[in-house]
Structure 1
Amino acid sequence: MNKKQFLNTYKKVDELKQEATGQSQKPPIYRSKYDERLIKDFHYAKFQKNLQNARQSESLKNLLEKEEWSEEDTEVLLRSLR
Structure 2
Amino acid sequence: MNKKQFLNTYKKIDAMEKAETKADDKKPLYRSEHDERLIKDFHYAKFQKNLDNAQKSDALKTLLEKENWDETDTEKLLESLR
TM over 0.5: yes
Which of 6, 13, 18 is the matching residue for 2:18?
13
Larger radius of gyration: 2
Work out the CA distance in 1 between the residues paired with 2:79 and 2:54: 11
Q: Alpha carbon RMSD of aligned pairs, Å?
A: 2.3
Q: Any stretches of 5+ residues in structure 1 without a counterpart? A: 19-23
CA distance in 2, matches of 1:34, 1:46: 18
Gaps of 5+ in 2: 1-5
Runs ≥4 in structure 1, deviation > 6 angstroms? none
The CA distance in 2 between the partners of 1:28 and 1:70, in whole Å, is 46
SS of structure 2 residue aligned to 1:31:
coil
What is the aligned-residue identity percentage? 59
Residues 44-55 of structure 1: matches in 2 within 5 Å? 44-55=44-55
